[in-house]
Amino acid sequence: EREREKERERQRELEKEKETKQTTFTSSRPSQSSSPPGSFLIIGRRQASFSGPDNPFTDQTPGGADSAPTNQDASSSSGGASNPPSKARLLGTSMHHSASTPALIPDPTSHATVPTTPPPASVTSSQSSPMMPTPVTLPPPSFTISSQALSAHAAAVTRCKFSGIGTKIASAAADGVVRVWGVDAQLRSNTSIFCFAEVLSLAWETKASRLLVCGTSEGKIKVWNVLADKAMGDIVVEPEYPRVEDIACSPSGSYFVTSQGSTKRSAGVLMTWNFKTLKMEHRIVVEPPTVLNSISFNHNGSIMVAGGADGMIRVYDMKTCAAIAGWAAHAGGVAAVQFSADETAVYSVGGDRRIVQWSIHTAGKIIREYQWYNPEPGMDGPRSTDPLSRTSAGSSLRPSASTGALHTIANLSSASMSFDSEGRYMAVATGGNSAVLYDVAQSAPVQVLGGHTSRVSCVDWHPTNLTCLTGSLDQSIKVHKLAKITDEKK
């Protein structure tokens, strides 16, 4: 009897020890509902490693969409554990990521890499909670500003953009009309382009600024030859992804990339198009599914950075057409994202009222955070979990009903941020009637570019001088010429 009692006691102890081990293993796994901004995520074929001979930021001939994809094994993690080869592969013209291949993030309790499921659609940790605006007092003006208004649109302005050589201005409106202006003393409109749907995106060819690409909300891309003043052609995109959210032209001048979203903005794709043939060459499905609000090339077109509605910043290798890195950046979605002038950093504007400078060499590391400033705080708009939320009608200029979930800015666009030619000054549309000017070396705003009677929807800098464009829902465009005030004049 005593022997049987001892045996039962040993069994109970073994079961208790087994339960303790299971509990410890479960609790050590990272929580997927609380990925903090700055956490690093491997979402492509290999971990981002921007140093050595494979550095994509060194001068090299961009492979672009014409380069054949190459299969690479995942590189080793920081702790030395080797990641398995990714299942991502190029099938025809589509990039598919196998659902059976888990994303990888570093386990904070171990040096080994722990497989886990993709991150949530929104960032919910306390570290990523939206920052409430703090009172900001502007310093004495750094510039004298002379502004000139252009009032030729009959609807809200959605985009305005200088050509790559600065001789033309293109502006688009919600009624589907795009106008091209000559940059001279009169600033006269030379051309009107009719797209017959709300224009969501606009981009100039980078080489000679001869071609202008317009993307609409209803599945069409128009390529216009400005010099010949005629259409090169119209592209009808996939009906599954009709919204052309943003366009970026490759620095090589041979192709352009479109970010396209579904009607409900629940999924998206990147597509590369040949300028000569206007044919699609590559199709990259965004994983985990989301819409990429903003896309931007580095100087040679080998790398693209993208900001998603899920709050993630993703980095794509355009030679392999694969996502190579990404991190949780904003709650409420990334509205705009761009490389710094020296390409050591990425800047982003989020729906959580945050403007952040991120390191590109240590993905997810914050270098500087800028003070959010809105001269008209009542203009911030309704609260929404997506800074680019649309109504059922599809208009980007009609805010959706408030969800009360996050204090975000409704309808910020990929044109909400722009840098001057030297990369020293940044103009940001923060949801008010004025754009806010920042010195990138300082966290506080420097000055405002005002004069509009409704929300500023887009900003852009001249490629060679201190002239900034602002477009507004008041149907006008303003050209602001800035002159630096010297210390003696101050």
Model pLDDT for residues 255-281, shown as the tens digit of each residue: 999 999 999 999 999 999 999 999 999
* pTM for this prediction: 0.72
Beta carbons of 270 and 257 less than 8 angstroms apart: yes
CB atoms within 10 A of CB 326: 25
- Compare 72 and 200 and report the one with higher pLDDT: 200
Question: Measuring CA to CA, which residue among 208, 220, 223, 215 is closest to residue 276?
Answer: 223
Cα 103 from Cα 327, distance rounded (Å): 12
Does the pLDDT value for residue 179 go beyond 60? yes
Tell me the mean pLDDT in the region 118-141.
53
Pairing of strands 292-297, 280-285: unpaired
Cα 44 from Cα 317, distance rounded (Å): 9
pLDDT class for 158, splitting at 50, 70, 90? Answer: very high
pLDDT at residue 66, rounded to an integer:
40
Q: How far is CA 391 from CA 304, 354, 397, 455, in A?
A: 29, 24, 9, 18
* Cis peptide leading into residue 288 (ω within 30°): yes
Angle at 107 between CA 104 and CA 108, to 5 degrees: 145
Tell me the mean pLDDT in the region 24-38.
40
pLDDT at residue 237, rounded to an integer:
96
Cα 375 from Cα 284, distance rounded (Å): 40
Classify residue 1 by its DSSP letter.
Answer: -
Coil vs helix vs strand at 158 = strand
Chain mean pLDDT for the chain: 76
Does the pLDDT value for residue 152 go beyond 80? no
Tell me the mean pLDDT in the region 442-471.
95
pLDDT at residue 490, rounded to an integer:
54
Beta carbons of 257 and 245 less than 8 angstroms apart: no
Beta carbons of 168 and 193 less than 8 angstroms apart: no
pLDDT class for 87, splitting at 50, 70, 90? Answer: very low
- Compare 333 and 40 and report the one with higher pLDDT: 333
Does the pLDDT value for residue 417 go beyond 70? yes
